[in-house]
Structures are given as C-alpha cells and as structure tokens.
Structure 1
Amino acid sequence: MRKFKKQKLFLLVLLFPFVLLVISFEFWPLFAMIHNSFLADDGKTPSMIQYFTVFHSSYYLQAVQNSVLISLFSSVVSIIIAIITAYSITRFSKKIQDRMLMITNMTSNFEGIPLAFSYIILLGTNGLFTLLFTELGLDLFAEFNLYSWSGLILVYIYFQIPLAIMLLYPAYKGIQKQWMEAASLLGATNVRFWLHIGIPYLLPSIVGTLSILFANAMGAYATAYALVGNNYNLLSLQIASLVASDVALKPQLGSALGVLLAVTMLAAMWINNRMMRRIRRDLS
C-alpha cells in the first residue's frame, strides 16, 4: 500500500509541469482578459465603462452580428456538405478511405494566411480564374467580390468542410451493416432507414460538430485579416486591432470584446449540450 502511494505521488509530480503549462497558457490569460475588461482606459481604475462602450456602440454590435451570421451560415452549409461527403467516403474500399482521409486531414490544416493568399491568386480581382473566364467572355465573377461577405463565406466554408468530415466520419462507422439488413427484411426502403434509424443515430454527432464549427468560425482571425483586413467588421478583427494596433490601442476594450466572444462561444456550447441531451432522451 505504501509503495502504491509513493508511485501515485511520483506520477502526480510528473503531471505537475503539464498542469502548470495548462494554467499558464489557458487559465491565466483568461483571468487576465476578464480582469482587464473591468478596468478603465488607464488600466488601473475599476470600471464598467468598457462593457458600456460595447453595448452602446452600433459599430461593435455590428461586429458581433456579422461574426455570428457568417459563423452560423458557413457552419450550416459546411455540415450539410460534410454529411454527404463523409457518407460517400464510407462507401469506398478501406484503402481508398484511408487515402481520402489523409487528404482531408491535410486540407483541414490548410487555413489562415496561405488559404487567403491562394483564394486571392485564383479568385481575386486579377485572379487566375477571374481573368480566364473574362477572356472567354463568361462573366461568372462579374458580381462576385472576394473581399466581401460572399468571399468570406466561401473561404470559411472551405476550411470548415474538412474539419466537419473528420468529426463526422467516425460516427458513420457506428452504423452497423446488420441494421440495414434488418430494416430491409422488414420492408424498409433505403430512405426510410436513414430517416428513422441512420439520421437519428447521427444527430448527436451532427449537432456537436455544428457547435464546434460555429466556435471555430467565430474565433477565426488570420484568414479574415489576410483577405479583407479591416474592410469588414468582424469581432475577431476588432479585438486584434484594439489589442495590437499602433493607432487605437485599447487593450481593456479589446478584453471586453474578448469576454463577449468567449460568452458567445460558451452559449453556443451550452445550447449544443442541451440539444444533445434532449435528442438522446428522445431516442431512448
């Protein structure tokens, strides 16, 4: 017994550096952000002025609205495409599935500045596809502007789809082949099987993936900044400009916006948790 306690204590000592690392890089910055959000611009006087400024400014409220809308829209479109794509991947042989998952995994890491730069090269004002179709007399991009809402939606969907596929693919593996065979023997068509068995089984995974996509889009910064700079009003861009700008440096106000961003993500996760509980309760 004494030997077991010593071994347990030794393992806790080994775990301490990791715990310290987590506290240093996750909890301490969060605490500092919340603390700074309740300070005045001088960084010393306790005040609610930062939250008063945020909630009484149509400019910052528009940033919140734009971020929520673009995150929600891109997440919904991405999850629909990912549901179909992930199912399609499961219909191939194991060898092809592994290769497609490898490509999907690689694509999921292609985001940020490199992704925005690639879209600028292909679909920008003087992009390859833009000039090519113009030379062919096809005005496919006549009303399309990459540096606007539609361009941001397109880029967000691109880096959201691979992540959604990677999260949904394991859920399809839980659907047993025997379920389909049993449903077929009972006279159920393929459509009825998915409506009454397949989709209800996948629904918790779909809802959970949707919340992750929403949070991922809300926190996206590098891609949006490289694509539109400060020409489009997004919450993540406003936080960065207030914290790291050389012109309007207001870290306390940026901290308040950061807290608002964190609360929005937590609210999305809370709603997702409630929905998943209700879905599981209804299924049981």
Structure 2
Amino acid sequence: MQKMKKQKWYALALLLPFIILVIGFEIGPLVSMIKNSFYADDGIKLTIDQYVTIFKSKFYLQAIYNSTLISLFSAVTSIIVAVVVAFSFTKFSQQVQNRLLMIANMTSNFEGIPLSFSYIILLGNNGLFTLLFAKLGWDVFAKFNLYSWTGLILVYVYFQIPLAVMLLYPSYQGIKQQWKEAAALLGASKRQFWFHIGLPVLLPSIAGIFSILFANAMGAYATAYALVGSNYNLLSLQIASLVASDVTLKPQLGSALGVLLASTMIVAMWFNQRMMRRIRRDLR
C-alpha cells in the first residue's frame, strides 16, 4: 500500500511541469480573458456592456455569422471528401496506407501564413497558374478571386480535408471483415451493408470529427489574416484588431468576443466527446 502511494506521488511529480504549463498558458489566459470581458473600456468598472455592444452591433454580428458560415461550409465539405478518401485508403496495402497517412499528416500541418503565401504565388492575381492559363487562352481563373469568400473556402478546405482523413481513417478499421461476410451470406449487397451497417457505425465518428473541423475553422487566424487581411469580416480577425491594433485598441471588447469564440469551440469539443463515447460503446 505504501509503495502504491509513493508511485502515485512520483507520477504526480512527473506530471507537475505539464500541470504548470497548462495553468500558465491555457487556464490562466482564459480566466484573464473572461475577467476582462466584464470590465468597461476604462478597465475599472464591472459591467456587461461589452456583450451588449456585441449583440447590438451589426458589424460584430456579421463577423460571428461569417465565421460560423465559413466554418460550417468548410467542415461539411471536408467531412464529405474525407469519408470517400479515407475509405479509398483502406483499399491499398498497409505499406501504401502508411505513406498516404504520412502525406495527409504533413498536409494537415501546412497552414497559416505559409499556406496563404503558397496560394497567392499559385492562384493570386499574378500567380503562376493564373498567368499560365491566361497565356494558354483558358479563362479558368478569369472570374476567380483568391482574396474573397471563395478563396477563403478553398484554403480552409485544403488544410481541413487531411485532418479529417487522419481522424476518420481509424474508424474504418473498426468495421470488421466478418460483418461484411455475414451480410453477404444473408444476401445483402455492398450498398445495403454500408447503408445499414457501415454508415451507422461511422456516423458518431463523423459527427465528432465534424465538430473538430468546425472548431478548427472558427479559431483559424493566421491563414485568413495573411490572405484577406482586414478586407473580410471574421471573428478571429476582429478579436486580433481589438487586442493588438494601434487604432481601435479595445482589449475588453476583444476579450468578450474571445469568450464567445471560446464558448463556441468548447461546445463543439463537448459534442465531440459525447460522440466519441458513443462510438466506443457501440463498437464493444
């Protein structure tokens, strides 16, 4: 008994640096942000005026709407593509699957300013592909504007799809070959198997991954900032402008917007945890 207690204290001591890191760089700033959101612009008076300002302002409501819309659209598009791509991965040998997953992992981490810069070089107004197709007489990108809603969606989907594939791929491993054989013996076609067995098993995982993609897109800042700057009204961009701007510096209002953004992401993560618990229970 005494030995077990010593082992627990030893494990806790090893965990202590991580606990300090979490408190200092995650919980601490979160608590500070929540506290600052209830202060007036003078930083002294306690009030809820910051939240009242947000919900009365069409500008900030538009930022919330735009961020929610682009997050939903990119998440839906990415999860649909990921379902097909992850399924196709399972048709290759294990060695090829490992290489494809390595490429997906590398692609999912290629985001932010480097990703936006790459798209500007390739598909910007003077981008490589834009000028190349123009010289060939193909008006493929004649009406395409990278620095718009369409461009943002394209860039968001680029780094969302590999992430969705990596998260969804293990779920396909949970569909056992015996299930397919049993369904075939009972006269079910492949389409019937996937409709009645495969998709119901995958659905909780798909819903959970969708919530991760939604939260990932809601919190994206560097990619959008490097691509459109302040030309497009997004929640993450408005928070940054209020906290770090030299012209419209209002950290309390930015904190209130940050609380709303964090609340959205926490709800998405909570939904993901519920879906993951369900899929683990169903696959037992």
TM-score, scaled relative to structure 2: 0.95
| CA 1:19–1:277: 2 relative to 1, 3 Å | closer
Question: How do 1:107-186 residues align onto structure 2 when only pairs under 5 Å count?
Answer: 107-186=107-186
Question: How do 1:237-248 residues align onto structure 2 when only pairs under 5 Å count?
Answer: 237-248=237-248
Aligned to 1:75: 75
Question: How do 1:227-246 residues align onto structure 2 when only pairs under 5 Å count?
Answer: 227-246=227-246
Aligned to 2:213: 213
Aligned to 1:65: 65
Give a deviation string over 1:133-180, Cα, whole Å, max 9, x none: 111111111211100000000000000000000000000011111111
Residues in 1 aligned to 2:130 and 2:7: alpha-carbon distance in whole angstroms = 65
- Structure 2 residue 42 is the aligned partner of structure 1 residue 46: no
Residues in 1 aligned to 2:278 and 2:207: alpha-carbon distance in whole angstroms = 11
1:274 Cα shift?
A: 6.2
Secondary structure of the residue aligned to 1:126 is coil
Give a deviation string over 1:39-60, Cα, whole Å, max 9, x none: 0111121111111111110000
Q: Which amino acid aligns with 2:75?
A: S
Indicate the larger mover: 263-272 or 54-63. 263-272
Aligned to 2:98: 98
Q: Which amino acid aligns with 1:137?
A: G
Q: Which amino acid aligns with 1:93?
A: S
CA contact (8 A) 1:200 1:283 kept: no
Residues in 1 aligned to 2:20 and 2:164: alpha-carbon distance in whole angstroms = 32
Residues in 1 aligned to 2:141 and 2:281: alpha-carbon distance in whole angstroms = 48
Q: What root-mean-square deviation, in Å, do the aligned CA atoms of Structure 1 and Structure 2 show?
A: 2.0
1:270 Cα shift?
A: 4.5
Residues in 1 aligned to 2:134 and 2:180: alpha-carbon distance in whole angstroms = 50
Aligned to 1:202: 202
Q: Which amino acid aligns with 1:248?
A: T
- Structure 2 residue 221 is the aligned partner of structure 1 residue 226: no
1:13 Cα shift?
A: 2.5
Unmatched tracts of structure 2, length 5 or more? none
Residues in 1 aligned to 2:220 and 2:9: alpha-carbon distance in whole angstroms = 41
Residues in 2 aligned to 1:203 and 1:37: alpha-carbon distance in whole angstroms = 38
CA contact (8 A) 1:50 1:252 kept: yes
Residues in 1 aligned to 2:7 and 2:170: alpha-carbon distance in whole angstroms = 36
Residues in 1 aligned to 2:90 and 2:2: alpha-carbon distance in whole angstroms = 51
Residues in 2 aligned to 1:68 and 1:263: alpha-carbon distance in whole angstroms = 13
Aligned to 2:29: 29
Aligned to 1:2: 2
CA contact (8 A) 1:68 1:218 kept: yes
Residues in 1 aligned to 2:185 and 2:6: alpha-carbon distance in whole angstroms = 59
Aligned to 2:19: 19
Q: Which amino acid aligns with 1:17?
A: P
CA contact (8 A) 1:207 1:276 kept: no
CA contact (8 A) 1:34 1:259 kept: yes
Q: Which amino acid aligns with 1:162?
A: P
Indicate the larger mover: 224-233 or 174-183. 174-183
Indicate the larger mover: 42-51 or 61-70. 42-51
Unmatched tracts of structure 1, length 5 or more? none
Aligned length: 284
Secondary structure of the residue aligned to 1:40 is coil
1:10 Cα shift?
A: 2.8
CA contact (8 A) 1:82 1:168 kept: yes
1:272 Cα shift?
A: 5.0
Residues in 2 aligned to 1:62 and 1:270: alpha-carbon distance in whole angstroms = 25
Q: Identity of aligned pairs, percent? A: 72
TM-score, scaled relative to structure 1: 0.95
